[in-house]
Amino acid sequence: MPSSKTQTTRDRNLAKIFVALPLLVTIILAALRAVAGSMLGGVGLLALVYCGARMAVALRGWTPRFLRRPRATRLKREGRCIRGAALVTGCTQGLGRAFARGLVERGVPVVLVSRDQTKLEALAGDLQSEFPAASCRILAHDFAGPAGGFYGKVADVIRRDVALVVNNVGVGVDYPLTHDELDESMLENMITVNCCATAKMCRVALPLLAERGGTIVNVGSGSAAQPTPYLSHYSATKAFVEQLSRSLDREWRPRNVRVLCAAPYYVSSTGLYKARASWHAPPAQVIVDGVFATLSDARQGSFEVIRACTAHEVIGVLFTSIAEDPVLSSVCAPVARLLGASGSMVEVMAKARGRYLASSGGR
């Protein structure tokens, strides 16, 4: 464990970075404005100061890589912050699997919930062979089907020793589809799994977690933060998850339960688009690390919705505060286009839809 002196130095260095960066940007811009001496310069300056402030708030508590503690120390510290076992839904692949592995890696006992018993057993076996001290229990359930006695079993499991519930299970569409292309069963499945299952899990978990203090992490999506055409229904279900989390957090904080919504943009897991890892589609482990860092960092205790990685926090500010603002977007969109980048989620989805139509022969 680094000493409190090292911690204070680290915090001071961080404070310096956060004060120095906006100051530097402001000075450069003031100089530019003096040169340009125009109205446009003034508007640009204000816009950039505003965006800088938004970015600084979004990245509060973020520590540059060179100032971070060694990984093993961080894992131990984060594991100790979870005072009990953790239950993860939708855990046999993608983000859920990364959550399960991340918890075991931090020494936390896990309860694995997904719909396929065989896949769950295989996952528990994999975790146990990678981390011999791992403690894994499994519970098979299809969230799209009838509940049966499932929520009663969940209550028993949570009552026993669970301190963290990760409501990760979620389904989307395989391709960017228009409203009329999405068939009714897909729509119902999305609402049942993404909205009803999350709400029911929260309903069971909250009063039980309140008895000894605990946390719920609901997995939302960056698609809910701004208009996301061709993923309209999926993003709407995730907006439900986000709003539910925000309100439940305010309602249950006084009773010692935190409800955090982790809402990343694209993840290069086996998800919707099976994107390859890149700066904007990081591997699932990056998101999971970001969530545990947030949960264990007192400076981030007030966060209700996080993107869980720096690149996604920045994309979030670009796609919401800039691209959706009529004035800022008119300045920034041409710059983005000049750089060959997508300036908004609408553009990202239009391109994805174009690729889909091209690959499917225009159907």
Q: Report the distance separating Cα 324 and Cα 223, nearest Å.
A: 13
- CB-CB contact of 233 with 240 (8 Å): no
Question: Residue 99 or residue 252: which is nearer to ligand NAP going by CB?
Answer: 99
Choosing from 230, 234, 265, 266, the catalytic residue is 234
Active site residue 230: no
Number of neighbours of residue 235 by Cβ within 10 angstroms: 23
Place of tokens 């499945």: 189
Nearest distance in Å: CB 207, ligand NAP: 23
**Residue 153 CB contacts under 8 Å (≥ 6 apart), including other chains:** 139
Give the neighbor-by-neighbor strand order of the sheet with 257-262.
136-140, 110-114, 85-89, 162-167, 214-219, 257-262, 305-306
Strand partners, 219: 262
Nearest distance in Å: CB 220, ligand NAP: 7
Q: Count Cβ atoms within 10 A of the Cβ of residue 74 and give its class: 0-12 exposed, 13-18 middle, 19 or more buried.
A: middle
Question: Residue 63 or residue 245: which is nearer to ligand NAP going by CB?
Answer: 245
Q: Report the distance separating Cα 143 and Cα 153, nearest Å.
A: 14
Nearest distance in Å: CB 153, ligand NAP: 14
Question: Which residues of the shown chain bind ligand NAP in the complex (CB under 6 A)?
Answer: 90-96, 114-116, 119, 142-144, 168-172, 193, 219, 221, 264, 266-267, 269-272
Nearest distance in Å: CB 296, ligand NAP: 21
Question: Residue 65 or residue 276: which is nearer to ligand NAP going by CB?
Answer: 276
Question: Residue 96 or residue 214: which is nearer to ligand NAP going by CB?
Answer: 96
Active site residues: 234
